[in-house]
Amino acid sequence: MSGKITINGQLIDFTDEKNILAVARNAGIDIPTLCYHPELSVVGACRLCVVEIERMGVQASCSTAPIDGMVVFTNSGRVNRVRKMVLELLLANHDRECTTCDASGACKLQKYANDYGIKRLRFPSRSQCEALDNSSLSIVRDPNKCILCGLCVRICKEKQGVGVWDFKNRGSRTEIVAAMDQPLAESACINCGQCIAVCPCGALSSNSTAIDEVWAALRDPKKTVVCQIAPAPRAALGEEFGLGSVDVTAKLVAGLRKVGFDKVFDTVFTADMTTIEESNEFLGRVTEGKNLPLFTSCCPGWVKYAEQFHPELLNNVSTCRSPQQMFGSVLKKKYTQDLGIKAEDMFVVSIMPCTAKKYEAKRPEFMTDGVYDVDAVLTTVEAARLFREAGIIFDSLEDSAFDQPMEQATGSGVIFGATGGVMESVIRYVAGKLLNAQGRVDVEFTRGMMIQRLPAYRLMILTKPGCC
Residues at the contact surface with ligand FES, assessed by CB under 6 A: 33-36, 44-49, 60, 62
The count of residues in the chain is 468
Question: Which CB sits closer to ligand FES, 189 or 199?
Answer: 199
What is the SS3 string spanning 136-193?
Answer: CCCEEECHHHCCCCCHHHHHHHHHCCCCCEEEECCHHHCEEEEHHHCCHHHCCCCCCC
Element housing 240 (H / E) = helix 233-240
Shortest separation between residue 346's beta carbon and ligand FES, angstroms: 49
The distance of closest approach from Cβ of residue 33 to ligand FES in the complex, given in angstroms and rounded to an integer, is 4
Q: Which is closer to ligand FES, CB of 46 or CB of 192? A: 46
| Cβ distance to ligand FES smaller for residue 24 or 34 | 34
Question: Contact, 160 vs 192, CB < 8 A?
Answer: yes
Minimum distance from CB of 26 to ligand FES (Å)? Answer: 16
Give bridge partners of residue 204 from the DSSP assignment: 141
Least Å distance, CB 195 to ligand FES, is 17
Please identify, using beta-carbon distances, which residue of 33 and 291 lies nearer to ligand FES: 33
Phi-psi region of 391 (alpha: psi -120 to 50; beta: other; left: phi over 0): left
Residue nearer to ligand FES on the CB measure, 33 or 296: 33
CB of 25 vs ligand FES, minimal distance in Å: 12
- The phi and psi torsions of 73 (rounded to 5 degrees) equal -120, 125
Residues 6+ apart with CB under 8 A from 416: 230, 231, 268, 271, 274, 298, 323, 422, 425, 466, 467, 468
CB of 61 to ligand FES, least distance (A): 6
Least Cβ distance, residue 84 to ligand FES (angstroms)? 15
**40 Rama sector, left if φ>0, alpha if ψ -120 to 50, beta otherwise:** beta
User: In this complex, which beta carbon is closest to ligand FES, that of residue 151 or of residue 468?
Assistant: 151
Q: Which is nearer to ligand FES, 31 or 271 (CB)?
A: 31
d(CA 222, CA 224): 7
